[in-house]
Amino acid sequence: MKRVFRTVLLLVAVASPVAISGQTDSCTAAMQRFREHRWSEAEHGFEECEQRDPGKTDALLYRGKSLVNMRRFDDAAAALERYSRSHPQSDDAVYLLAYISFREDKPKDSLRLFSDAAKLKPPAANDLMIVALDYVLLDDYADAAHYLESSLKLNPDDVEARYHLGRVRYQQNQFDLAIAAFEEVIKQDPANVKAQDNLGLSLEAKNQIEPAITAYQKAIELDQAAVSPSEQPYLNLGTLLLKSNRIDEAIQLLERATQIAPGEFKVHYELGRAYFGSHHLDPARQQAEESVKLSPSDSSSHYLLGRIYQRLNRKEDADEQFRLTAELIRKKSADSKRGMASGLNTR
């Protein structure tokens, strides 16, 4: 569930714009477009500004910021690296390069750059939150929690940081702390679907089934009013109801999850399980086959499809799925052992 942490963090304003030293009319116009969040126009304006007076203004810094907001991270990094060469004391540029490395799934590079930036200027609350998310990508939840708590000391009202702290506590199986974090997010932001949904996950983990169902239902209620719906509360409640043998209710929720996120294998897998449990074998087969297609390396999907084929008297197809299941489980076990050995060798 690591990717839940990457929902995140599109930089929209990336620091307050300041005047560019030695600026021309074109630089002034570019800064105005930057203030108005007209990123593409601003980026072109800053490029022209830099060409007129190379290395003498902050144009490359703001071009980089504009490109980050356009999610053109490679181009942004190139602009910021050029800027850093002529402005080696710019903490702003190094912090932004660290952020870009985070967005490009390079947590070790990101942490190195954050360390460099901190030598120039102490990190702000948002910087510490991104450091924490770098540690999440490295599966280091203890350090992630430490930096999220440090971020919240600087900005106690940061809903996003507190949400991520709840996610980290959930990953650490510290469910009471996770619940407290998500409840605080909901207190500050009552329409937060993700927090409600994760509150449900945390309550379910403590086997508080009815409160978990209530939290999921609230998340679904909020999601129905959201501009961009999420499959997660439907998937989580449907899966919980399936465990409780409330199969018809589960199917309705899981069907909605597949409508929202047809490319997510997990929703097809759980819907296939629900159909299988209700003896609707052909719909179950269709969902399991889709799950296998979307995630060929998931052993559970192959095993479910094998059971369905077995029930449909397709013995050869069933045997093939069971063979693939065993092969994937062996591979996962071998990869895990190699990972443990690698970890020991690097200590």
The predicted-structure confidence for 253-311, as pLDDT tens digits, reads as follows: 999 999 999 999 999 999 999 999 999 999 999 999 999 999 999 999 999 999 999 99
The predicted-structure confidence for 223-257, as pLDDT tens digits, reads as follows: 999 999 999 999 999 999 999 999 999 999 999 99
Quote the radius of gyration of the chain (alpha carbons, Å).
Answer: 24
Contacts of 174 (CB under 8 A, 6+ apart): none
- What is the rounded CA–CA span in Å between residue 150 and residue 181? 15
- DSSP 8-state assignment for residue 55: T
What is the pLDDT confidence band of residue 342, given thresholds at 50, 70 and 90? low
**152-156, 159-163, 174-178, 330-334: segment of lowest average pLDDT:** 330-334
Once rounded to an integer, what is the mean pLDDT over residues 179-189?
Answer: 98
**How many other C-beta atoms lie within 10 A of the C-beta of residue 34?**
23
What is the pLDDT confidence band of residue 340, given thresholds at 50, 70 and 90? low
Look at the domain 1-14+22-121 and name its fold.
1.25.40
What does the pLDDT read at residue 54?
85
The predicted-structure confidence for 31-76, as pLDDT tens digits, reads as follows: 999 999 999 999 999 998 888 888 888 999 999 999 999 999 999 9
Question: 1-14+22-121 with 260-332: one CATH topology?
Answer: yes
3-state DSSP call for residue 107? helix
User: Would you say residue 204 has pLDDT above 80?
Assistant: yes
Q: Could you tell me the two tokens for 273?
A: 């399980």
* 17 against 309, higher pLDDT: 309
User: Would you say residue 1 has pLDDT above 80?
Assistant: no
- What is the rounded CA–CA span in Å between residue 276 and residue 285? 8
- What is the rounded CA–CA span in Å between residue 190 and residue 184? 10
Looking at the chain, the whole-number percentage of residues with pLDDT higher than 90 is 84
**18-32, 306-320, 324-338: segment of lowest average pLDDT:** 18-32
First vs last Cα of the chain: how many Å apart?
27
Residues 320-336, buried b or exposed e (16+ Cβ, 10 A)? ebbebbeebeeeeeeee
What does the pLDDT read at residue 17?
46
- What is the rounded CA–CA span in Å between residue 251 and residue 293? 21
| Residue reference for tokens 């050995």 | 341
Once rounded to an integer, what is the mean pLDDT over residues 215-226?
Answer: 96
Alpha helices in the chain (DSSP H): 25-35, 39-52, 59-69, 73-86, 91-103, 107-120, 125-137, 141-154, 159-171, 175-188, 193-205, 209-223, 232-243, 247-260, 265-277, 281-294, 299-311, 315-345
What does the pLDDT read at residue 24?
61
C-alpha angle 205/296/335, rounded to 5°?
70
Q: Could you tell me the two tokens for 170?
A: 């959930």
- In DSSP notation, 297-311 reads T-HHHHHHHHHHHHH
Q: Are 302 and 318 within 8 A, CB to CB?
A: no
| Residue reference for tokens 């209620």 | 221
Contacts of 37 (CB under 8 A, 6+ apart): 12, 13, 69
What does the pLDDT read at residue 56?
81
Query: What global pTM score does this model have?
Result: 0.86
**Nearest-CA neighbor of 322 among 340, 342, 301?**
301
Q: Are 171 and 133 within 8 A, CB to CB?
A: no
What does the pLDDT read at residue 164?
98
Going from N- to C-terminal start, the domains of the chain cover 1-14+22-121, 260-332
What does the pLDDT read at residue 339?
64
Q: How many CA atoms lie within 13 A of 136 on its CB side?
A: 29
**Nearest-CA neighbor of 97 among 74, 115, 80, 112?**
80
Q: Are 119 and 90 within 8 A, CB to CB?
A: no
What does the pLDDT read at residue 335?
78
Once rounded to an integer, what is the mean pLDDT over residues 12-21?
Answer: 47
User: Would you say residue 2 has pLDDT above 80?
Assistant: no
What does the pLDDT read at residue 23?
52
The predicted-structure confidence for 96-134, as pLDDT tens digits, reads as follows: 999 999 999 999 999 999 999 999 999 999 999 999 999
Domain 260-332, CATH 1.25.40.10 — does that match? yes
